[in-house]
Chain A
């Protein structure tokens, strides 16, 4: 009797499962081409159904295996039930297998890498251009090389970035990613120049906590130096980085990084590459080969501490050394050494952090060498003599999150040029390049930048920024930016791009 009852329950269950199976069958067919997520869900549901079926089958087997109930007069009815159940079961099994087979179909597109696109547009206005007077007695006040590629005076709209980010696993041992950037820049005659910003292969299964990355990538140096333009907390890259590194810290090379097996976070990396940062006029670029000593060597050590649940600190130190790079322009050799220290303090109260938090972070850079990467040729002192000299630079910023959508912030930036002008503006007459820089003071370049970011959603951002720039002997400039950025496609949150 109990057996019969159990069987009835069983049949009920089977019917439910049967209908469920039918339903998912239909849904699989009705949608023209199932998306990856639908297929994924279907697979999950099938896994659940399979499990249920397995259980049911086990139960049937167990029931069938039970010794016949005493006085087997009632048996024919029970076995008829059993037969019906088994028939139904095999029907369902057939259906389930068919549906499962359908989900097992592979589409070539399933192997497509994940793709995302960032569009970063900027409207800007600059009151006056700020050239760096060569200080040799020629030219007007703002003549000469524009400082750190800053945009000319006036108003313009700039599609800074249309950046394609592609990534996928290569095989069980490696993954790879590439960033292809097209930017139509007024400084380039508004032509969209397509460049490969990064294209790198990364190992995933090396022992001893090691990872190797090779190809072209933004080298592990500092914090904001390896961020893409659109990924910075500000509209522009801090001018100190732009001067002392030259934009993003790009290199063609190979990097080994190691995670220390310590209870706290400690990570070290060593990189060797062609160059670090922008192509400099003195030959540190990707275009010519060089002696081994002419390569650029980089190292970084970084750590992190939770002060408590709500407060934490990150510290890092980096070095980039080109011991004997070839100066193609001047057919000489020079050394370049860049040392950086960075810190980041975060107050991110648990539970409220997405809506209320504070970040204070900064970097200090010291560049020593005997060539002037911005102006080309050797570095010169205030008397115009070639000299090995250092230049300091750095920035510090604070950003407060008022809500999920609003984040005001303030940045201060300071840097020294690698070379100093021989003659500077006479403070009394205002005549440019007319007075010897007799005091020997390094020229100060300062930028004050309040900014405000608004996030209507996680994938869209508008940012307003004002820069007050004081550039040595050039006239102070006012700059206004309005940046509008969106992100399309798959959403990758990399560890090194964490906020």
Chain B
């Protein structure tokens, strides 16, 4: 009996040693955990072959409701840095996971906690914090990744954060950043030309995800299907919204992939408009594999819809 117990214990110890060895090998590269896939893509560009990047959330998920899966805990425990959007975008799941992960390096305030919103000037910062106004983001709208200029700030913050943690690779990060930004600048010119017919196009969306995007490309954000941030629509709100859409000639209803089709379809039918499914993160639709894909896909899809609805401007 005792012999069997001993054998079992030796077995357990061996398994643990093998596992530990496996982890150690995998950690030759810098192991970065990001909250969202956009951050993983950009971190991959900045870190190049020096880093292994993993995003906790997948692109099709609701970024406000990522479940706290215990399988995230060992990842955060091993992470050398964590890259997050900030502005309390991840408030419902990341702080709890960080407390459980027992990794001092990535606690808030430590150098391994890379908040990419550090350079962003937030929009829609509430002047009055009351839950009567819904599930507010106290620090402002966190969806700045949908603006390519936001992408620039994200890349810069990531490069800075990585350099702070791994100064020996500064040159590499800087040159990768430069390359990324040059590519972004070139794309930006293309996108701005592409978006010209979208100037002044009115639209609504389910949640206030497109504020920064609309501001960048001159679209007119008329309202949200949600009654208040995070609060499902009430009947009275929908009636008012559709009335506004009819009087304002709003034909475009944006639907983020994680919201149901039912209400957007009803609204579009009622006002004679079109529902357009636009991802808000990399991976939100299968075609969008990189951050550049995301911006490009959104512009292209929206443009097609605006033309179909007859609301696109002439260039």
Q: Give A residues with C-beta under 8 Å from B.
A: 31, 35, 37-38, 40-41, 44-45, 47-48, 51, 204-206, 209-211, 259-265, 267, 304-306, 309, 312, 314, 346, 348, 350-355, 403-405, 456-459, 491-495, 498-499
B70 is an interface residue with CB less than 8 A from chain A: yes
| Beta-carbon contacts under 8 Å, B192-207 to A | none
Nearest B residue to A202 via CB reads B99
Contact of B139 (CB < 8 Å), options: A41, A351, A494: A41
Q: Give B residues with C-beta under 8 Å from A.
A: 16, 19-20, 22-23, 58, 60-62, 65, 67-71, 73-74, 77-78, 91-93, 95-97, 99-102, 104, 107, 117-122, 125-127, 129, 131, 134-135, 138-140, 230-232, 257-258, 260
Contact sample, A vs B, 15 pairs, CB 8 Å cutoff: A37-B126, A44-B117, A45-B121, A47-B118, A48-B120, A51-B119, A209-B102, A211-B102, A262-B19, A353-B62, A403-B260, A404-B232, A493-B92, A495-B68, A498-B67
Task: Decide: A353 near B69, CB < 8 A? Known: A35-B129, A259-B77, A458-B135.
Answer: no
CB-CB under 8 A from A495, the residues of chain B are 68, 73, 96-97, 99-100
Is there contact, CB below 8 Å, between B74 and A264?
yes
CB-CB under 8 A from A35, the residues of chain B are 129, 138
Task: Decide: A261 near B77, CB < 8 A? Known: A44-B122, A210-B102.
Answer: yes
Task: Decide: A261 near B23, CB < 8 A? Known: A37-B125, A457-B135.
Answer: yes
CB-CB under 8 A from A346, the residues of chain B are 67
Is there contact, CB below 8 Å, between B69 and A458?
no
Minimum Cβ distance to chain A for residue B110 (Å) = 10
Is there contact, CB below 8 Å, between A312 and B69?
yes
Other A-B pairs, 10, CB within 8 Å; known A261-B20, A348-B67, A457-B230: A37-B139, A44-B118, A204-B99, A205-B104, A259-B101, A261-B77, A261-B78, A305-B71, A312-B71, A499-B67
Is there contact, CB below 8 Å, between B119 and A457?
no
Minimum Cβ distance to chain B for residue A266 (Å) = 8
Is there contact, CB below 8 Å, between A351 and B61?
yes
Minimum Cβ distance to chain A for residue B96 (Å) = 4
Is there contact, CB below 8 Å, between B107 and A204?
yes
Is there contact, CB below 8 Å, between B92 and A48?
no
Minimum Cβ distance to chain B for residue A33 (Å) = 13
Is there contact, CB below 8 Å, between B61 and A350?
yes
Nearest B residue to A35 via CB reads B129
CB-CB under 8 A from A264, the residues of chain B are 71, 74
Q: How many Å lie between the Cα of A456 and that of B22 in the bound state?
A: 47
Minimum Cβ distance to chain B for residue A149 (Å) = 31
Nearest A residue to B64 via CB reads A354
Q: How many Å lie between the Cα of A332 and that of B140 in the bound state?
A: 63
Is there contact, CB below 8 Å, between A493 and B102?
no
CB-CB under 8 A from B23, the residues of chain A are 261, 263
Nearest A residue to B103 via CB reads A209
Minimum Cβ distance to chain A for residue B219 (Å) = 24
Minimum Cβ distance to chain B for residue A126 (Å) = 34
Is there contact, CB below 8 Å, between B65 and A314?
no
CB-CB under 8 A from A205, the residues of chain B are 104
Contact of A355 (CB < 8 Å), options: B101, B139, B260: B260
Is there contact, CB below 8 Å, between B93 and A493?
yes
Nearest A residue to B260 via CB reads A355
Top 3 nearest A-B pairs (CB, nearest first) are A351-B60, A304-B70, A265-B70
Minimum Cβ distance to chain B for residue A354 (Å) = 4
Is there contact, CB below 8 Å, between A41 and B140?
yes
Minimum Cβ distance to chain A for residue B98 (Å) = 9
Q: How many Å lie between the Cα of A31 and that of B125 in the bound state?
A: 14
Minimum Cβ distance to chain B for residue A382 (Å) = 35
Minimum Cβ distance to chain B for residue A28 (Å) = 13
CB-CB under 8 A from A458, the residues of chain B are 135, 230
Minimum Cβ distance to chain B for residue A34 (Å) = 11
Task: Decide: A457 near B231, CB < 8 A? Known: A351-B60, A351-B258.
Answer: yes
Is there contact, CB below 8 Å, between A493 and B96?
yes
Is there contact, CB below 8 Å, between A306 and B71?
yes
CB-CB under 8 A from A309, the residues of chain B are 58
Nearest A residue to B86 via CB reads A44
Task: Decide: A304 near B69, CB < 8 A? Known: A209-B77, A351-B62, A351-B258.
Answer: yes
Nearest A residue to B104 via CB reads A205
Contact of B68 (CB < 8 Å), options: A31, A405, A456, A493: A493
Q: How many Å lie between the Cα of A403 and that of B131 in the bound state?
A: 21
CB-CB under 8 A from A37, the residues of chain B are 125-126, 129, 138-139
Is there contact, CB below 8 Å, between A41 and B125?
yes
Q: How many Å lie between the Cα of A37 and that of B125 in the bound state?
A: 9
Minimum Cβ distance to chain A for residue B79 (Å) = 13
Nearest A residue to B19 via CB reads A262
Q: How many Å lie between the Cα of A204 and that of B97 in the bound state?
A: 13
Q: How many Å lie between the Cα of A261 and that of B135 in the bound state?
A: 36
